[in-house]
Amino acid sequence: MHADAWFIDRQTPALHVGNGSNGYPYMLRRRNLIVAATAFLLGLMAALLYLREPTTPFTQEALAQARQRWRNAGIRTYRATYRMHGSLYEVEVRDGLVAAITVNGQTPSIALPSAYSIDGLLDTLQTELENINDSASSLGTAPGTVVARVRFDDLLGYPQRYIRGGTGLGRGSTLEMLEFQPAGD
């Protein structure tokens, strides 16, 4: 056998490249198997994350139904903790008005605190939806290049999870409700 032949061990051809005596055999099949197994595991993890908290396509109809459920619930005093764009928001609403808000544990100086209430989040999602569907906006692109998915609470209608992803920079957005407590609960 030639010194640079492919071999599994010293007698069986086809797995390693090299002469086998240098201590650094190249195991092509093993490397390919490791790459394939890694890709499979990453795909499986992504599928599990996706299925862990199922979402539906974000549509005008889904948003309108959620907003109607929120209005019908009539909740005007509550505490909400959510993560949006990587920051942690803690919001307290009394009688429909934002009474307290912190972002990452700090009190922000904001001109419009109502934007961080559930009504404000629903308005923000409405703007997101309009921008996604408007080809002139920074998010509006060819169909299928921006994917937005959402899950609203089945009973109360507040947003539990929102994910927007797409091609290009600055096209990703997330919202995840970590805790929602109506007054008295």
Higher pLDDT, 131 or 13: 131
**Confidence check: pLDDT of 58 > 70:** yes
Q: State the virtual CA torsion across 96, 97, 101, 103 in degrees, nearest 10.
A: 70
In percent, the amount of the chain with pLDDT more than 70 equals 66
56-60 mean pLDDT: 87
Each residue of 103-133: pLDDT tens digit? 999 998 887 889 999 999 999 999 988 887 7
| pLDDT score of 82 | 97
Cβ neighbours around 144 below 10 Å, total: 8
Residue of 92, 90, 116, 115 lying closest to 104 (CA atoms): 90
**Confidence check: pLDDT of 50 > 50:** yes
Give CA–CA dist 116/87, Å, rounded.
12
Find the range with the poorest average confidence among 56-70, 109-123, 157-171.
Answer: 157-171
| pLDDT score of 124 | 92
DSSP per position, 20-54 = SSSS--EEHHHHHHHHHHHHHHHHHHHHHHHHHS-
Residues 6+ apart with CB under 8 A from 94: 76, 77, 183
- The pTM (predicted TM-score) of the whole model is 0.67
- Where does the pLDDT of residue 169 fall: very low under 50, low under 70, confident under 90, or very high at 90 and above? very low
Cβ neighbours around 118 below 10 Å, total: 24
At 130, list the tokens: 């309009």
| pLDDT score of 98 | 95
| pLDDT score of 43 | 67
Domain boundaries of the chain, sorted by first residue: 16-52, 56-182
Each residue of 17-38: pLDDT tens digit? 555 554 444 455 667 778 777 8
